[in-house]
Amino acid sequence: MRYHVLATDYDGTLAKDERVSPDMIESLKRLKISGRKLILVTGRELEDLQKIFPEYALFDYVVAENGALIYQPATLKEKLLGERPPEVFIQKLKTQQIKPLSVGRVIVATWEPHQITVLNMIKETGLEYQVIFNKGAVMVLPPGINKAKGLHEALKELAISEHNTVAIGDAENDNAMLQVVECAVAVNNALPQVKTVADWTTDHHHGEGVAELIGQMIKDDLAELDQLLSRHYLELGQCFDGSVFEVSPYGHSLLLAGTSGSGKTTFTAAFLEKLMAKKYQFCLIDPEGDYLDLPDIVTMGDASQPPVIEEVIKLLTQVAQNAVVCTLAIPLNDRPAFFKKLLTVVVELRKNTGHPHFIIMDEAHHLIPQETEDSFFNFPEDFKNFFAITTKPNLISQLFLERVDIAIMMGETPGRSMAEFATLVRTKVDIPENIVLQKGEVLVWRKDQNRTLLVRSAMPDTLLRRHKRKYATGDMGNNSFYFKGPGNKLNLKANNLNTFIQMATGVDDETWLYHLRQKDFSRWFRGSVHDEELALRTEKIEEQQKNAKISRKAIFQLIHERYTAPAD
């Protein structure tokens, strides 16, 4: 299920002439029965709302005073997001004979045409307050307090994301709320500017419009509206015909295949950046320890300590937090069983909250190997929103591959890999002949269009540089390089590439040439730095160059170009 919460305005939306119809109450009850949550977001003061709308307890949370007060009817718990204005400000408004004038826990409200007087009193008292309008109502609130802020706090209490929320409204003060949710809806009687912000406008007005929305949520989870939500699409590159290659953030399952050094890490980094920029939560399973130092992401497990599933789920419950689950300390044969346990609890979290929005499986053949019994994982029927990365499609369980609807191939033989994938999933794919891809280009198959595309993939901005920084200046721990020389006469540890260059500069020629002849440098670059291109180019130097000074300079130059040179 994509949408777990309906957030609705009260006056002019749920209610007409301050009242909610009995039919509307029944619609709200039906939505609750479907397993979804309800949040009422209103500019009214809580006590006022409770008097005119006794059924408010149907809602899981009430956001009152235009976002300043959060109330949970089930527990009677209240939370204020701001402070009441100073008494001197309130008294100044009263001396100006402003009527009506309402003072809540945080909000101060009146009606037009008193906005000019209100603004003058704010200026006179030196307050940094804001004025928000609502179809003639004039509301004074602390800076940063609006319906979007209040909704966010209520969703945080529910551990649900704005990306799993639909909001509906009718007036100016609803705009902030509508702009932050996944699907923004305006009732038919909404102001023109609200309809412009909304993704969809109902055919009916007021409560009948809300009931129309609820009916669609129950019917198909608003599946038909996805094409209207292109503002959320993930742009992953540009097709050779000039069109944009983009995917909806919901409903797709991707496979990325390519040999080592073909650019899978770069493509994955770009994909992660897109998710983070749009605040979609992801859980990345990392079997090789390649993503331990990603910025602003918590890593669970490392080379010596396996991740604890309970701690992973506890972390993912915080919707703003992304997670890397490193399985490097788990024996290879045990990883499918670990992934099965992790997947079971992650799927349950998704069922209840809608997140994590993407499950990313690096080296997916370690987690879902081809030889696994079809019944082992017992994937739910609606299992989607995953991104699996592998070297070859035939290494992965066929049952899993059949769920893929976007296949992306890169490297020297993309056509062959795509044909292999098509055979495995028993699908006819029209593959261009004699495909030769340049660096950064991919061959894409989309099931929904049943066609292949040639795409120049998007490049990551900062994430890949930060990802590579651990190899340049971080501590690689057990993956460090050791200069030992013949007879193990030395034991010098280089825990990153910069240190490697410093130490290599100082070691004697005999030690350097010993490792060069053993191809230890290319082996380290391939197995620990996970850079196939660097390894291949170094391997050529190891095979062709026997001079210590020249080989040092050549390998140092390769490292400098790929890791320590300033970005363009």
Same domain, yes or no, for 132 and 53?
no
What is the Cβ-side half-sphere exposure of residue 542, based on CA atoms within 13 angstroms?
19
**Which of 254, 283, 253, 275 is closest to 345 using CA atoms?**
283
Same domain, yes or no, for 323 and 354?
yes
Same domain, yes or no, for 264 and 162?
no
Last residue of a domain, one of 197, 230, 263: 230
Same domain, yes or no, for 71 and 86?
no
Number of domains in the chain: 4
Digitized pLDDT (tens) for each residue of the chain, 568 residues in all: 999 999 999 999 999 999 999 999 999 999 999 999 999 999 999 999 999 999 999 999 999 999 999 999 999 999 999 988 888 888 888 888 888 988 899 998 888 888 888 888 888 888 888 888 888 888 888 888 999 999 999 999 999 999 999 999 999 999 999 999 999 999 999 999 999 999 999 999 999 999 999 999 999 999 999 999 999 999 999 999 999 999 999 999 999 999 877 888 889 988 998 999 999 999 999 988 777 767 778 999 988 899 999 999 999 999 999 999 999 999 999 999 999 999 999 999 999 999 999 999 999 999 999 988 767 888 888 899 999 999 999 999 998 999 999 999 998 889 999 999 999 999 999 998 888 888 889 999 999 888 899 999 987 765 555 556 678 877 777 789 999 999 988 889 998 898 999 999 989 999 999 999 999 999 999 888 877 778 889 999 999 999 999 999 999 999 988 776 544 3
Q: What is the pTM of this model?
A: 0.82
Gap between the Cα atoms of 485 and 513, Å rounded:
8
Does residue 407 belong to any structural domain of this protein?
yes
Q: Which domain holds residue 554?
A: 474-564
Do strands 323-326 and 234-239 pair parallel, antiparallel, or not at all (unpaired)?
unpaired
C-alpha 288: how far from its chain's center? 22
Does residue 20 belong to any structural domain of this protein?
yes
Same domain, yes or no, for 300 and 199?
no
Gap between the Cα atoms of 149 and 157, Å rounded:
13
- Count of C-beta atoms within a 10 Å radius of residue 76: 7
**Which of 334, 7, 44, 55 is closest to 162 using CA atoms?**
7
Does residue 304 belong to any structural domain of this protein?
yes
Same domain, yes or no, for 152 and 136?
no
Same domain, yes or no, for 295 and 375?
yes
Q: The tokens of 450 are what? A: 């049943």
Does residue 163 belong to any structural domain of this protein?
yes
C-alpha 157: how far from its chain's center? 19
Same domain, yes or no, for 266 and 218?
no
Instruction: Specify the CATH number for the domain of residue 220.
Output: 3.40.50.1000
Same domain, yes or no, for 267 and 338?
yes
Does residue 119 belong to any structural domain of this protein?
yes
Last residue of a domain, one of 120, 144, 168: 144
Does residue 495 belong to any structural domain of this protein?
yes
Does residue 398 belong to any structural domain of this protein?
yes
Instruction: Specify the CATH number for the domain of residue 317.
Output: 3.40.50.300
Integer Rg of the chain from CA: 29
Same domain, yes or no, for 70 and 200?
yes
Last residue of a domain, one of 463, 490, 511: 463
Same domain, yes or no, for 112 and 206?
no
Does residue 468 belong to any structural domain of this protein?
no
Determine the residue type at 460. Answer: P
Same domain, yes or no, for 18 and 137?
no
Residues with Cβ within 8 Å of residue 413, at least 6 apart in sequence: none
